[in-house]
Structure 1
Amino acid sequence: MSSPFTIPGLEHIQPPAGQPSEPAPARAPSRRGPTREQLLEGLNEPQAEAVVHAGAPLLVVAGAGSGKTRVLTRRIAWLVAERGAHPGSILAITFTNKAAAEMKERVEELVGKRARLMWVSTFHSACVRILRKEVDKLGFKSSFSIYDSADSKRLMGLVLKELELDPKKYQPNAVLNWISDRKNELVDAEDAAKDTKNAFEAAYAAAYKTYQRRLREANAMDFDDLIMTTVHLLMAFPEVRETYRRRFRHVLVDEYQDTNHAQYALIHQLCAEHPEDAGSERVAPAELMVVGDADQSIYAFRGANIRNILDFEKDFADATSILLEQNYRSTQTILATANAVIGNNASRKPKRLWTDAGDGDRIVGWVADDEHAEARFVSDEIDRLVDAGARAGDVAVFYRTNAQSRVFEEIFMRTGQPYKVVGGVRFYERKEVRDALAYLRVLVNPADEISLRRVLNTPKRGIGDRAEACVNFLAEQERVTFFEALTMADRAPGIATRSAKAIKGFVDIIVELQQMVEAGERPDVILETVLDRSGYLAELEVSDDPQDGTRVENLAELVAVAREFSEDPVAGPSADPTDVEAGTVTPGLTDFLERVALVADSDQIPDNPDGEDVGVVTLMTLHTAKGLEFPIVFLTGLEDGVFPHQRSLGDPTELEEERRLAYVGITRAREKLYVSRAVVRSAWGAPSHNPASRFIDELPIDLVDWKRTADAAPRWSRSDPDANSFSRMGAPTDAGRRNFTSAAMRMDASSKAKSAREVPSLAPGDRVVHDSFGMGTVVALEGVGDKSVASVDFGSQGVKRLLLRYAPVEKL
């Protein structure tokens, strides 16, 4: 449509009056920016209502593919162009840096470079900006380091050693996941210690307390700290909260259904009424708009709370809700399928996606003999589609768990099908990149012991474990930081003269390089100097190992990233854009390190290829697929126990989340959707027969074209109930197939078996502890005696099937 005024029911829309805190700017003789007609052009009625809404908190329930990004960007542009809002008064929160950059770019196209003054960022980046200015009130220095998961794990290893806790019994990852859950609920170490239920949780709480102490000593925070600390700061210092409530007059939050309690609390601090702040100087709450879809809430395992979006109208009593149901992505057949599946969730508000793009092709269904046959079907079908004119880059293959990618990779490699798995070792996780960044972090924050220990003898400079231990003893004895102890290493008891001399050389390099940071040198120049002065680059360049050549290329890419950052005047996530634009702040090394530290996993997803490039097939989990779209989608592994996942089968709440995950997978497809399952799938090295997924039964019968059904699939041979093979009904077993059930094979296996452990007596619901996986809950049992198998949910570690005869598991 050409104008918003042609939409029935929207004739009444006029530019809303500005808020008291937003005096209307004087208009220039010629209008700057787009007209109101241009801002509303092409929007349907609910979208336009969301863009022009003013006053009460607004919830935009945006169904999959309903144009929520367009609504967000047009609303921001509307606030600036039509309501006179200063761009610096706008805070827009997204969940990835990539989404933030895209939103900022779109708004800048509409209103010009003024958009650079907005805060458009992730929760973590926004919190870092606040903390850099205010965290001294909590006893931190503004140069604090940000620890990623690898840094946290390394620190937790030191914590467990300090507390003399067995790292096999108290696995670092398990302890960190327990701590993360508490931080997401804003529970600090002291409160966590008061709420422990057994000896294991008491040990976890002690580790939490020590972990936080060592973080503070290192002037560092982990990712969860960034949000929790900001919320505690705003709660503890009302004057700080008031400063940011005055600053941000318009707050917009994307993907609201994915927020956890800490993120919810942050928004509440900035936008809700706080009676304790009553007074003549108090300003009205900021205008809040949240966008999300409860049907796409799939991150409960990360702490996301679906109640945040379901209860929005309870949390904000005067809230308004707008529903976006028109889909601009998929065919009506795909949408009808998605509607039918998600309609089986009881705890949801009614919503039905629709499109005027036509019905499109029917869904294609396939039942394969096993997972290898399923992968061969997918590969063959992709070949057929490409021959018919599709691009490999148009195709995505989704599965429930990362492990399922292996069989697709094997088949694709065999058939020569180009593919890319989203995941694996990402650029910033490579050793040489982490080493270089550790050097930079030490320059900014010498108290960062984890980074300091990483580079102390990298490259090799004659500082061994014994010398490091001597310095650590000196630090504890003198109650100084590890770096301060390095500066007086010659006084460390028992240290060798050669080691002390090597340490002095290392300290001299660090002190020399710190002067570049203090002088405000560009991050790329500092990085190149670090690689040169440390000897790191020289060691790689003289190496005969071809892998070291690749490492040099990766470091060159890191320098290129730093250079690109240095040349972007508003790239720094912690630098206030207003200050940057005014020329009073130049993004420096601290800002660059934050840019790197705050890169989200989903930012690593490859873009679809452009131009003549035919691209490659993308393989990814359903969780990773959220927010993406592809012309052709294969939704695989639709079996109960696989998808929906085994741990959800006995829990209605988790089963509803699995169904939302199916809904997300279905609505990623634009033109063609395939669903497939295997009759037999290998599990723990043995064939496992899983029934069809209950989600298959929920697909509309008339919309799915089953090219192969279960009737054509194999059945188990009834002649040997223990047989590790199967044959087609009525067909003889392959005579050439090795018989793994023979007495000889059983005797051979028995002779190699470990001696049996005492099998614990367990029941569903029992709490247990595993030497490697930590604490968990028994969800299912099968078999008896030595053949007893327990399925145990270890939280973020997932559900593990444990053969109790061998598993190092104890009942609590």
Structure 2
Amino acid sequence: MDITPIIEPLNDAQRMAVTAPPTAMLVLAGAGSGKTRVLVHRIAWLMQVEAVSPNSILSVTFTNKAAREMRGRIETLLNFPAGGMWMGTFHGLAHRLLRRHAREAGLPETFQILDSDDQYRLIRRILKNLELDEARWPPRQIQWYINAQKDEGLRARHLAESYDPFERQLQRVYRVYEEQCDRTGLVDFAELLLRAHEFLRDNAEPLAHYQRRFRHVLVDEFQDTNSIQYAWLNLLTRDRNNLFVVGDDDQSIYGWRGARIENLYRFQQDYPAHQLVRLEQNYRSTGNILGAANALIARNEGRLGKNLWTDGGGGEPIRLYAAFNEQDEAYFVVDRIRQWAQEGHRRSEAAILYRSNAQSRQFEEKLMALGIPYRVYGGLRFFERAEIKDALAYLRLLSNRDDDPSFERIINTPTRGIGARTLDAVRELARDQACSLWQAAQLLSQGGSLPARARGLLAGFLALADELARQARERPLFEQVHQVIQHSGLIDYYRKEKSEQAETRVENLEELVNAARQFENEAEADEGLSRLDQFLAHAALEAGESQGDPFEDCVQLMSLHSAKGLEFDLVFMVGLEEGLFPSMQSLEETGRLEEERRLCYVGITRARRQLYMTHAESRRLYGKESYPRPSRFLREIPPEHVQEIRMRGNVSRPVVAVPQAEGGAGGFKLGQRVSHAKFGEGVILQAEGDGAQARVQVNFADAGTKWLMLAYANLQAI
């Protein structure tokens, strides 16, 4: 047996992790240290050397794309297919489990997945039924609340009634939401995980079966797991000590969406016999970049501890630029990118990273002005586009007539004359009869209080859905999709649209047929599940992913959170100012500052060759102008790794004037401290005009920023 391809590319620490005897293991993998290589080679080692069947391996990733890439690399390494291995995201694997045990888990066999948008629409309908004003009870906030409870393993019945009226109303909506989902066979993303955990926890025989089957459980990005994900993993592995996790406490940046850095510490307590391997050799960045990152993150307390190093040399220093304002900052960054491209580098190797998406506008304007192509990372993915969600809603209704969100989405798309009053009547009857919207529509179409025309329109829609289902029966998946988009009227509807997007929408719908054909050719058969239901689950899970499509050769703009897992030759971290990065919220909430520091660490370690960090002396953002201090993170980087630079060029800056008021009021300079009889003490920030028109902008400690005419302000120098 030739094991050379498996172990030869590995360094000593990687080899230790890959070849370790079967036991619980924590691989503490620093940025750019080859964690994916360790996971791929570990699985290959288990199958090639330890003779472990692929059926005995469960591997969890955080995106479907990562799972596909890992599977491909494993099969290339072994030179044979790795079928039978369960590899995917937490949501995908939980879905697979529940499909096999739907009845035992308390679900109908035809249960459908609610993606985030459909969940939002359902919550809006519940608020309407409960006569709750969306202005006071924002649907997004309620959606976040419900998902957060589920991520902690809490159902509505587990929550003690709150003394807070607002909290009690949230609990009420949660109860109604659960009842609605249970009645109509709908499962949101958070429910997939919670239901899978409850199923294993409460059913000893299936739990024992999967514990025996999965002799090796491997998890990527372990620091990003939430409470219910950890509990699910712990159920499967706690008695067998066979959990192999790869993570980095220094890159835990998703606490705001439920990730628990504490899971790394819980792992060490729950698996006391575990091995710990640190991956510290970095294959991405230069020595100066790593030196800055190490010094910064060392400020955080309670770290598991590691120090990144490279044998690739020190490289160029980090460049620090203090801009006059956000426009100056954008000009500087874009000008450097222009020079970079002129030197023959690919634009796609340059990235602008910011803390808030609102910061992107200035950079977009400057890039457009210079004709430099760019892409804002995080645009709508294919399965999230409105026309695709319309087509999928038709398909979901064919599979499950009781799917209320799909019914609501397409009952009048394309427009067929069914008005708001008719739909309200359907909703009211569904609520009174505790039935689905489809069942309520059937009842109303056969008689009742609706006018004859409304009954006819309802009956026409129901007949259309039944006919689409009849036509699709026994056809290949791609033909089912083709039939639906053609005969539902969606294609004609968008072709008639008089907009720039109309042609693109039609092309997207046609591409959905291709997607169905490709899925049918590539997806593994799933016993007991139709190809259509497989495809609908695939679409819903893909729509939940956060990664964007592959980039063309254009500059990449993205938030620091979106940049995790990516790397670029040239990186600009912009807006490093107190209140922006670190954010104002992090300065006010306990524990948030350390996560902000980890986010800065992630940003720094995205850079392979060159890193620029910028801040502005004044910034207009969210409609307000501020004069922020440079971020504390800049002060936490040792000066030997940093070179301060000044812009050379024709950037327009205000002239540092010494305005002179008439009447012998005296001159004042920018930065001078002054006193005002009403506003107190402050600092002069800007000055403009001459003579009687001379005025200054002063930032007062108590009163904020004010523009004052020198002829009347009676300012006193301090």
Q: Same fold (TM over 0.5)?
A: yes
Relative distance call for 1:551 and 1:374 in structure 2 (3 A) is: same
Contact 1:92–1:252 (CA<8 Å) still a contact in 2? yes
Relative distance call for 1:143 and 1:701 in structure 2 (3 A) is: same
Separation (CA, whole Å) in 1 of partners of 2:373 and 2:251: 30
The answer as to 2:186 corresponding to 1:225 is no
Question: What residue number does 2:134 align with?
Answer: 167
* Counterpart mapping for 1:612-627 below 5 A: 615-627=553-565
For residue 533 of structure 2, what is the amino acid of its counterpart?
A: T
SS at match of 1:136: coil
The answer as to 2:333 corresponding to 1:378 is yes
CA deviation map 1:743-796 (0-9, x unaligned): xxxxxxxxxxxxxxxxxxxxxxxxxxxxxxxxxxxxxxx9689x9xxxxxxxxx
Tell me by how many angstroms 1:671 deviates. 0.6
Which residue, 531, 534, 546 being the options, matches 1:591? Answer: 534
SS at match of 1:53: coil
SS at match of 1:291: strand
Separation (CA, whole Å) in 2 of partners of 1:166 and 1:553: 38
Contact 1:470–1:493 (CA<8 Å) still a contact in 2? no
Question: What residue number does 1:663 align with?
Answer: 601
Which residue, 552, 570, 577 being the options, matches 1:639? Answer: 577
Tell me by how many angstroms 1:641 deviates. 0.6
For residue 580 of structure 2, what is the amino acid of its counterpart?
A: V
Q: CA RMSD in A?
A: 2.7
CA deviation map 1:643-682 (0-9, x unaligned): 0111111445111100000100000111111111001011
Contact 2:286–2:313 (CA<8 Å) still a contact in 1? yes
Question: What residue number does 2:169 align with?
Answer: 203
* Counterpart mapping for 1:419-430 below 5 A: 419-430=374-385
Question: What residue number does 1:21 align with?
Answer: none
Which residue, 516, 524, 548 being the options, matches 2:502? Answer: 548
Question: What residue number does 1:396 align with?
Answer: 351
Separation (CA, whole Å) in 1 of partners of 2:533 and 2:702: 57
Tell me by how many angstroms 1:539 deviates. 2.4
Tell me by how many angstroms 1:415 deviates. 2.0
Aligned length: 679
The answer as to 2:8 corresponding to 1:41 is yes
The answer as to 2:302 corresponding to 1:352 is no
SS at match of 1:114: coil
For residue 549 of structure 1, what is the amino acid of its counterpart?
A: E
Contact 1:96–1:600 (CA<8 Å) still a contact in 2? no
Which residue, 217, 232, 243 being the options, matches 1:266? Answer: 232
Question: What residue number does 1:333 align with?
Answer: 288
Separation (CA, whole Å) in 1 of partners of 2:434 and 2:298: 62
* Counterpart mapping for 1:163-562 below 5 A: 163-192=130-159, 194=160, 196-273=162-239, 285=240, 287-515=242-470, 519=474, 521-562=475-516
Tell me by how many angstroms 1:538 deviates. 1.8
Contact 1:97–1:603 (CA<8 Å) still a contact in 2? no
Where do 4+ consecutive residues of structure 1 move more than 6 Å?
A: 717-722, 726-729, 738-742, 782-785
For residue 634 of structure 1, what is the amino acid of its counterpart?
A: F
Relative distance call for 1:427 and 1:286 in structure 2 (3 A) is: same
For residue 534 of structure 2, what is the amino acid of its counterpart?
A: D
CA deviation map 1:3-39 (0-9, x unaligned): xxxxxxxxxxxxxxxxxxxxxxxxxxxx6xxx21221
Question: What residue number does 1:23 align with?
Answer: none
* Counterpart mapping for 1:143-154 below 5 A: 143-154=110-121
Query: Mean Cα displacement is larger for which, 390-399 or 649-658?
Result: 649-658
Tell me by how many angstroms 1:588 deviates. 0.6
* Counterpart mapping for 1:638-717 below 5 A: 638-708=576-646, 715=670
Contact 1:474–1:492 (CA<8 Å) still a contact in 2? no
Separation (CA, whole Å) in 2 of partners of 1:516 and 1:119: 34
For residue 258 of structure 1, what is the amino acid of its counterpart?
A: D
Separation (CA, whole Å) in 2 of partners of 1:349 and 1:586: 44
Question: What residue number does 1:567 align with?
Answer: 521
For residue 87 of structure 2, what is the amino acid of its counterpart?
A: V
CA deviation map 1:56-86 (0-9, x unaligned): 2000000000001011001111111111111
Separation (CA, whole Å) in 1 of partners of 2:509 and 2:638: 52
* Counterpart mapping for 1:755-766 below 5 A: none
Separation (CA, whole Å) in 2 of partners of 1:165 and 1:492: 30
For residue 486 of structure 2, what is the amino acid of its counterpart?
A: D
SS at match of 2:618: strand
Q: Percent identity?
A: 41
Contact 2:357–2:559 (CA<8 Å) still a contact in 1? yes
Question: What residue number does 1:605 align with?
Answer: 548
Any stretches of 5+ residues in structure 2 without a counterpart? 648-652, 657-669, 707-718
Tell me by how many angstroms 1:587 deviates. 6.2
SS at match of 2:300: coil
Relative distance call for 1:569 and 1:346 in structure 2 (3 A) is: closer
Tell me by how many angstroms 1:718 deviates. 6.6
Separation (CA, whole Å) in 2 of partners of 1:664 and 1:171: 32
Question: What residue number does 1:806 align with?
Answer: none
For residue 237 of structure 2, what is the amino acid of its counterpart?
A: C
For residue 661 of structure 1, what is the amino acid of its counterpart?
A: L
Query: Mean Cα displacement is larger for which, 509-518 or 168-177?
Result: 509-518
Contact 2:292–2:638 (CA<8 Å) still a contact in 1? yes
Relative distance call for 1:434 and 1:60 in structure 2 (3 A) is: same
CA deviation map 1:516-558 (0-9, x unaligned): 5653x33321111011111121222244444322211121222
For residue 218 of structure 2, what is the amino acid of its counterpart?
A: L
Any stretches of 5+ residues in structure 1 without a counterpart? 1-30, 274-284, 580-584, 610-614, 743-781, 788-812
Question: What residue number does 1:799 align with?
Answer: none
Contact 2:379–2:548 (CA<8 Å) still a contact in 1? no
Contact 2:560–2:603 (CA<8 Å) still a contact in 1? yes
For residue 535 of structure 2, what is the amino acid of its counterpart?
A: F
Separation (CA, whole Å) in 1 of partners of 2:96 and 2:83: 15
SS at match of 1:607: coil
Relative distance call for 1:601 and 1:457 in structure 2 (3 A) is: closer
For residue 293 of structure 2, what is the amino acid of its counterpart?
A: A
Separation (CA, whole Å) in 1 of partners of 2:151 and 2:356: 24
For residue 78 of structure 1, what is the amino acid of its counterpart?
A: W
SS at match of 2:145: helix
Question: What residue number does 1:774 align with?
Answer: none
Relative distance call for 1:461 and 1:345 in structure 2 (3 A) is: same
For residue 76 of structure 1, what is the amino acid of its counterpart?
A: I
CA deviation map 1:171-212 (0-9, x unaligned): 1111121222111110111112x1524111111001100011
Relative distance call for 1:658 and 1:601 in structure 2 (3 A) is: farther
What TM-score results when the alignment is normalised by the length of structure 1?
A: 0.79
Contact 2:384–2:543 (CA<8 Å) still a contact in 1? no
